[in-house]
């Protein structure tokens, strides 16, 4: 068992559980949290339900155990508009240390919590994270310096679809419910050498506009998650 810090895409982790940092008002509108929302829509619905009932408070952890990996929602903000607080980060870390055995967690992947949209200095977060996690000896712990340019398997599946040219535009439209004219833009973006990940794709700009809007992004994630045509990866897996 080990504690490891690495740079990469947290969605490539093979860990049993992955940590998502959240607020308590039911919003996952940007950053890694938006990625979680798109990849795990049922988790997001459950999280929203709990938030709308005012049951989630800063410093708490909301586990979602119906997905693989398990998602551990660490509430380190109250409102999404406000910064994270170091005491809330510390409280969630302590709760994780006290409860991971009860959840049967054998491996977990963390981001540097609160250091991006949370506004907490990265060195402060690193020091606190190491204090609580680096001495845990009975599970594998990865802490990610998130690199959005590293592709996950969802994007590799999209590359496979584009470069193997195994479906017509009409087939892609039927399979994904994304209009063919948007698929043309997606395909062109994937073929651009500057597009290295699904994060790059979602932020791909042409003539001052993103080529793919919120609704089509959701459709694309749903399509890629369920896609069965690629045989070299484990089906029904996000990794």
Q: What is the largest CA-CA distance in the chain?
A: 54
Q: Annotated catalytic, 77?
A: yes
* Contact of 19 with 109, CB cutoff 8 Å: yes
The CA radius of gyration of the chain, in Å to the nearest whole number, is: 18
CA–CA dist 206, 225 (Å, integer): 26
CB atoms within 10 A of CB 14: 11
Residues 6 or more apart in contact with residue 77 via CB below 8 angstroms: 21, 22, 23, 24, 58, 83, 84, 85, 88, 118
CB 169 within 8 A of CB 184: yes
Point out the catalytic residue in the list 77, 85, 126, 214: 77
Catalytically active residues are: 77
């Amino acid at each position: 068992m080990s504690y490891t810090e690495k740079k990469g895409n947290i969605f490539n982790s093979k860990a049993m559980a992955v940590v998502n940092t959240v607020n308590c008002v039911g919003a996952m509108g940007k950053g890694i949290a938006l990625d979680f929302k798109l990849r795990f829509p049922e988790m997001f619905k459950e999280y929203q339900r709990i938030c709308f009932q005012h049951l989630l408070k800063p410093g708490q952890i909301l586990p979602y155990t119906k997905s693989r990996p398990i998602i551990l929602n660490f509430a380190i903000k109250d409102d999404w508009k406000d910064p994270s607080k170091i005491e809330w980060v510390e409280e969630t870390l302590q709760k994780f240390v006290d409860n991971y055995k009860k959840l049967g967690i054998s491996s977990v992947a963390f981001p540097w919590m609160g250091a991006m949209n949370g506004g907490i200095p990265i060195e402060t977060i690193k020091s606190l994270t190491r204090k609580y996690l680096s001495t845990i000896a009975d599970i594998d712990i990865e802490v990610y310096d998130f690199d959005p340019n590293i592709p996950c398997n969802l994007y590799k599946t999209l590359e496979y679809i584009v470069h193997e040219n195994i479906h017509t535009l009409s087939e892609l439209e039927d399979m994904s419910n994304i209009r063919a004219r948007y698929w043309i833009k997606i395909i062109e973006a994937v073929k651009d050498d500057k597009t290295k990940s699904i994060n790059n794709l979602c932020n791909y700009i042409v003539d001052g506009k993103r080529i793919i809007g919120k609704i089509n992004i959701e459709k694309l994630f749903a399509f890629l998650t369920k896609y069965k045509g690629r045989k070299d990866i484990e089906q029904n897996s996000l990794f």
